[in-house]
Amino acid sequence: MDDPGRLLDLLPDDRPLSWVREGEGLVGWGEVARFTGTGSGRFAEADAWWRSFTARLDVRDEVGVPGTGAVAFASFTFADRSPGSVLVVPRVVVGRRDGRTWITEFAGDGVRTAMRQAVPVRVGGALRYDDGDMTVADYRGAVAEAVRRMRAGQPQKAVLAHDLLAVADQPLDARFLLAGLAHHYPTCWAYSVDGLVGATPELLLRREGEVVSSRVLAGTIWPGDDPAGAGTDIGAALLASAKDQREHAFAVDSLAATLRPHCRTLDVPSEPSILALHNVSHLSSDVRGVLRDGASLLTLVADVHPTAAVGGTPRTEALQVIAELERMDRGRYAGPVGWIDAAGDGELGIALRCAQLDGNTARLFAGCGIVADSDPDSEVREAAAKLVAVREALEGTLVGG
């Protein structure tokens, strides 16, 4: 199709679906089918449901690249016990890849009418903030207890999160939040699936045929957190931080260990690089492999999730610490989010820098990797720095800047 302009500008207000980075990706709306699941088998069940659904379709695909044909937007819970994992098959998808734009529809729908927004985007208004299920004080205490346990033996790392509620005077518009995040975080993946809206810098897994890749982020610094003194380059300070390097190594090693059995070759960088964003900078490693077994994206994610970047290591002990100390349901925060197609290809990021929208209320999340030498006050400040992205976008202080 002819270039319709910015993908996010095409979205209607009713349950928009998005996976967009630097102007390319997929947006969708409407719904023809849905999978929901809970438990440790949710990835396998979703994969089986998706294979069965796509096998019954008569598909005409004149473009033939990943993301064309039948597509489902995906969002899975972090924890096995949490309800809410979902695949949504949209009625209409518009995609762009390498400058080429296409539209996919289920036959019989009024596509040209659907290309127009239902109502104008509602701008952000006044917000008030309330404590979530885990307050800042609770979070500081949980970090301190996790550090105590680590110094006593186990685990080596656990990623603890807390939440914050933002309450508006009118229903919140996912498109407004998406626009603000995409504008100031263009190198992140701006996503919206079933009310979970955010912009993640972390790609859990991408599958394109036999090639699988991942962008691992762990280790964080932000303006104002200059451990070496004022004026120091914060990227250099991050690279020099033994604590952050150790946290990053745990994340990369856990991903590589779970991917390696599926791959003929696996390239893992020996040293991380710096990913600088508007509000924070991260240690980053891009991992790339060639599959030996043809595993689908959901099969791979079932093995990989949760990595040490969002769970911890060893995995079992870290998840036990999270369950005991957080005392809240993360929902789909820090779970896989993105899209899959009928060939088993797709992109799934980690649902970070996000909010779950419910009418007038947004539930924001932020988490930090905790290791034995973590400082509770510093981790509280890091979590606050990570919340800045969504808070500013909700408040509208980013749009047009």
Q: Quick check: is 46 in a domain?
A: yes
Q: Quick check: is 312 in a domain?
A: yes
Give the pLDDT confidence score for residue 399 in this predicted structure.
Answer: 42
Cis peptide leading into residue 376 (ω within 30°): no
Q: Give the tens place of pLDDT for each residue, 66-105.
A: 999 999 999 999 999 999 999 999 999 999 999 999 999 9
Examine the residue annotation and report whether 157 is marked as an active-site residue of this protein.
yes
Predicted structure pTM score: 0.93
Q: Quick check: is 119 in a domain?
A: yes
Examine the residue annotation and report whether 386 is marked as an active-site residue of this protein.
no
- Give the SS3 label for residue 296: coil
**Hey, what's the torsion of the CAs at 173, 177, 180, 183, to 10 degrees?**
-110
Q: Quick check: is 401 in a domain?
A: no
Q: Quick check: is 1 in a domain?
A: no
Give the pLDDT confidence score for residue 232 in this predicted structure.
Answer: 54
H, E, C per residue of 333-362: CCCEEEEEECCCCEEEEECCCEEEEECCEE
Query: Per the residue annotation, which of 22, 157, 208, 326 is the catalytic one?
Result: 157
- Residue 283, phi-psi category: left (phi > 0), alpha (psi -120 to 50), beta (remainder): beta
* Rounded distance between C-alpha atoms, residue 73 and residue 27, angstroms: 9
Q: How far is CA 279 from the centre of its chain?
A: 17
Query: Per the residue annotation, which of 24, 105, 202, 210 is the catalytic one?
Result: 202
Give the pLDDT confidence score for residue 213 in this predicted structure.
Answer: 97
* Rounded distance between C-alpha atoms, residue 142 and residue 316, angstroms: 18
Which 8-state DSSP code applies to residue 232?
A: -
CB-CB contact of 4 with 71 (8 Å): no
Q: Quick check: is 322 in a domain?
A: yes
Give the pLDDT confidence score for residue 224 in this predicted structure.
Answer: 64
CB-CB contact of 325 with 160 (8 Å): yes
Give the pLDDT confidence score for residue 184 in this predicted structure.
Answer: 87
Which of 214, 195, 216, 228 shows the shortest CA–CA distance to 13? 195
Give the pLDDT confidence score for residue 397 in this predicted structure.
Answer: 63
CATH for 109: 3.60.120.10
Rounded to a whole number of angstroms, the distance between the first and last alpha carbons of the chain is 31
Q: Tokens 């993908």 belong to which residue?
A: 7
In sequence order, what are the residues at sequence separation of 6 or more whose Cβ sits closer than 8 angstroms to the Cβ of residue 239?
245, 272, 274, 283
Helix (H) or strand (E) holding 394: helix 376-395
Q: How far is CA 322 from the centre of its chain?
A: 19
Q: Quick check: is 49 in a domain?
A: yes
**Hey, what's the torsion of the CAs at 49, 55, 59, 63, to 10 degrees?**
70
Q: Tokens 């309450």 belong to which residue?
A: 167
- Give the SS3 label for residue 99: coil
Number of domains in the chain: 1
Block mean pLDDT (10 aa), the chain, length 401:
91 94 96 96 98 96 94 98 97 95 82 60 87 96 97 93 95 95 93 97 95 93 60 80 90 93 96 87 95 95 93 94 95 98 96 96 96 95 93 74 33
Q: Where in the sequence is the domain holding 33, given as residue range(s)?
A: 7-395
Q: Do the strands 354-358 and 361-370 form a parallel or antiparallel pair, or are they unpaired?
A: antiparallel
Give the pLDDT confidence score for residue 27 in this predicted structure.
Answer: 97
Q: Give the tens place of pLDDT for each residue, 49-75.
A: 999 999 999 999 999 999 999 999 999
Q: Quick check: is 400 in a domain?
A: no
Rg over alpha carbons for the chain, rounded to the nearest Å, is 20
Query: How many angstroms separate the Cα of 128 from the Cα of each of 146, 169, 362, 366?
Result: 31, 9, 11, 18
